[in-house]
A and B are shown apart, each in its own frame.
Chain A
Amino acid sequence: MSFFWTRGAASRWPSCRFDPVAAVVVRDLSVARGGVVLLHGLAFTVEPGAALVLRGPNGIGKTSLLRTLAGLQPPVAGRVTGAGEDAAYAGHADGVKAQLTVAENLAFWAGVHGRALDDAVFRRFDLAALRERLAGTLSAGQRRRLGLARLAVTGRPVLLLDEPTVSLDAASVAGFARWLQDAHLAQGGSAVIATHIDLGLHAPVLDLAPFRAPADAPGSAHEAFL
């Protein structure tokens, strides 16, 4: 069944981490949650090597937008190209199995993505000392680091990050930002990040407030009944 594993980003180019990938292009996108349109008319492009920071008050639809980019939910209208199968999504939950060790958790995600587990990941995310610990015994911040390390393990060039720094201390935030800048973006990856703190990236900020959809925006699951 190995043909299932080779889809997505393979590491055929030893010099560069990622295949030359297309930019993430979003055109005229409408995003909904529970059938209610939250954002409309969204348009942006994230080139390889660049990041985009999403800003906006709670409930504006950052999570729904990231889930739509990840292909978890269909767009109400508009088009997304360059994400989907090239994207790795990290939501509020880390997808960490409490009964598995740190190394086993990462080895699993590497296996699912058809990749070998590189030892550098443990160093990068400050997990080397925790390798054989059961994930259930980790602190919230350590568990978060494990969840973020999964992103590196997948080898996917486009990261979709939903509040990645929650429960991280200042040192860990700085470490994560360093990994993002030096190991990911610098090697041709890209990222769309919803965050409220400044990661110190040289990334444009997209304020979502102007794209907030009015109550009668087209595309709602309810509109046939109104």
Chain B
Amino acid sequence: MRLWTFLRDREWSTLAGYALFVALMTAGYYYNITFVQLGLIDLGTRLVGLPETTVSLWMGVLALCTFAAAVATGVAMDRRGWSTNLRTKLRLLLAVVCVQFVLTVVAPHVRTAPGFGAWILAGSAALGVGFPVSFALAIDTIPVPDRGYVAAAITAITYGLANAIPLDWNVVVFSQLMTVAMAPGIVVLGVLASGRVDAVERVLDDLEAQQDAFGRGRFNHPDPVRTRSLAFVAPLVLMFGVFFVDSLGFLRIIETPTLLLTSWQSPQLSTRLLIAGAHVVGAAAAGVLYVNFSRNAVFLWIFALFALSHVLYTTELRLAAVFPTTAGTPSLLNPLLYAVAVSFYTTMNFALWPDLATVDTIGTHSALGIGLAGWVATFASTAVALYLAHAEVTLLTHLNLVNALALLLLFGLAVGAYAKRMHAIARSKRGPRDADRVPEDSAGSAAEGER
């Protein structure tokens, strides 16, 4: 881990970069998984009084608008050179956090459907600008070999806090907490973006100078990954699958009081702490695996963990159908395994997009990656979940479907990786002349063994 070298050499600017990136990403992700994903549903259903279906549709609108805003921002960042200008990124981020602060303060006071819709549109614009900008900070702050560990730290801290701190899933509670947490963040970002503090300016100069060393992601060797290449599209599709599987299953789980109140919303602190611990352990394990194994190996683990946790959920539901008196006391093992799976893919998500980009593509690739895989997958899974709810599909059938999807992706990836390896071997047997005719993407894949 390069961090130890920087610590030994007392490279304070670089260390400050680590801290800045982890703090910003942790804060942003915590805001996303609490206020945005849970608080807005509470706002729409309880305070505004909209039906759950309508709120879900608005959440879909949020996902699509966020994606659109992110792509526009990401492309603009790369074309206008904002991606490589640290101060511009910090100023953009300051603007985003200021807007989010106002929106967070205002949210609990929204009482009408048009107001809720307007909040969603403004919120999605802020989110859409915010995440490509914050991911683009990786090229200034985090050395490539450490990205897996840093991603693990972000995931562990975020999910550890989110589960260990017993908060009601209530927009008022979230709003109060976020307001208090964001205020000092705005001050810090304001100082960083002001350009008036000499010591800060020196640190920013040092960080920006690191782009040469940190700017080329792990999977961009020997050639940079192009946006329209298989090297980018394949992980994008896999990540879409991961987000879709998680979201589709979780949407139904949190609508089932028996499952929710004995796990993520348990009144027992020990239960929540166990789940928090599982998230931390899962993130640490994912960090180690990401750094030491190929990307596909980590994807295989993710799908296997999701498949296994859904096998356990469905097995328990089947047994509860046979022995109805046990239905009220689900096992804690299932959410624990689920938490590990979630931490795995979240860690992967934080490390993958900067590693698939260079200083020239970090904006676009982050926007497309998080936007398509994260937000659009959430939109799609929400739509499917609504359809399944409308069709009155049972919990068991629903989770069975999710399980089937996870298994399909698991075996699809295994077969795909095997076929790719076979293709590479066959090509190497054919000799250099034939190999020259192989498209560039595939040649790059074989060279690195990752793509």
* A and B found bound together: no
| Chain B interface residues (CB < 8 Å from chain A) | none
| Chain A interface residues (CB < 8 Å from chain B) | none
